[in-house]
Amino acid sequence: MKIGIIVPFSWSYPGGVIEHAENQAHALRLRGHEVKIVMGHDPAGRLTRALHPRSGRHGDLPAGIIPVGRSVVVPANGSLPNIVLSPRSITRVRRALDEERFDVLHLHEPMTPAICVAALSFAQCAIAATWHAAGHLGWMRGARRTWGFLTERIDARIAVSRMAAESARRWLGNVYEIIPNGVVIPEHVRVDGREHRVVFIGRHEARKGLPILLRAWPEIRRRSGARLRLIGTDPLQYRLIHSRLRFDEDGIDVLGIVSSAERDRELAGAKLFVSPALGGESFGMVLVEAFAQATPVVASNIPGFAEVAVPGAATLVPPGEAKALADAVVTVLADEAQRVLMGAAGRALVEQRYAWGDVARRLEAVYQRIAG
């Protein structure tokens, strides 16, 4: 088939949905399909710097991506996604669909303007859609009233988790098939012999809980001697947190935004991954990425994480409690034999449930069903 993947965000600012779409396209190509991604792009320059508070990837686009417009930062669901809202993107989406003549379109976050709404309006083929977000999603009230009728054009509704399905159903009704996020699993990874360090991955957003970890860190550092590697956190934003909390920053390395390959190397070399998120996570993708590298997890006991975590691979603690977080991290680091077993259990979990080969096979079955 010729498959078009529609993403309402900008390739220039990586996030969970964007990485999902890129890996989805690769996995489907391995199964013999022709796949292109329609999404935003913010080239380097003064306008991009003026519109966005953080740096991104602004080089040449990879093959197979059709750019249709610039993005802007829009607060939504406790996050700061980079959404394409340019009116010009609407005509560009229509032109891309006319020229490519896809057999199937797969929309991610299909109610998000302007790219997905335009695709729903102009598509002349079968449509699948995946909902990723969970929470109240108050912005959906206006979206449902304005262009909600377009969801009648969707032939297959997918959600990445039960939480995402419940959130979508609250506004749009209907039935959703659960197909989880996939993860790239390296062929070989070493479980033991890791560097004595802990990794955190996440943007500086309140729901990611970074201040909780930074308040707990001096105690973790004193009791374990480990180092902390912060990935995805802008260095300037980190300095602002430090100026407010005045924590002891001994042993902290701020790496900023890194490539997915560098992120995976950091996870593969660390003894532990920590995520003190406070909520708003529909699917514990960061946990699954750590499990793929055989790295055990200490994370908050929130619904999105509890759905993917298993006791043998992760320790869950009450959200927002710095002392409980510190105690759990120190406990895991103090028992190397148990830590190795946790890493192996996480690796086995993702091989069984979240390998992209299996996820792509399930998506392919959906496309065949709706495209006849």
**Domain segments of the chain as ranges:** 2-182+355-371, 195-353
So what's the pLDDT on residue 225? 97
Helix, strand, coil: what percent of the chain each, to 5?
A: 45, 20, 35
So what's the pLDDT on residue 235? 84
Q: Which of 147, 200, 202, 207 is nearest to 172 (CA)?
A: 147
Weakly modelled stretches of the chain, pLDDT under 50: none
Topology alike, domains 2-182+355-371 and 195-353? yes
Is the separation of the CB atoms in 212 and 317 below 8 Å? no
Superfamily of domain 195-353: Glycogen Phosphorylase B; (3.40.50.2000)
Neighbours of 352 (CB within 10 A): 9
So what's the pLDDT on residue 59? 81
Angle made by CA atoms 186, 38, 177, in degrees to the nearest 5: 65
Topology annotation, domain 2-182+355-371: Rossmann fold (3.40.50)
Strand segments (E) across 145-244: 156-159, 177-178, 195-201, 227-231
Is the separation of the CB atoms in 156 and 107 below 8 Å? no
So what's the pLDDT on residue 78? 67
N-terminal to C-terminal alpha carbon distance within the chain: 11
pTM for the full predicted model = 0.89
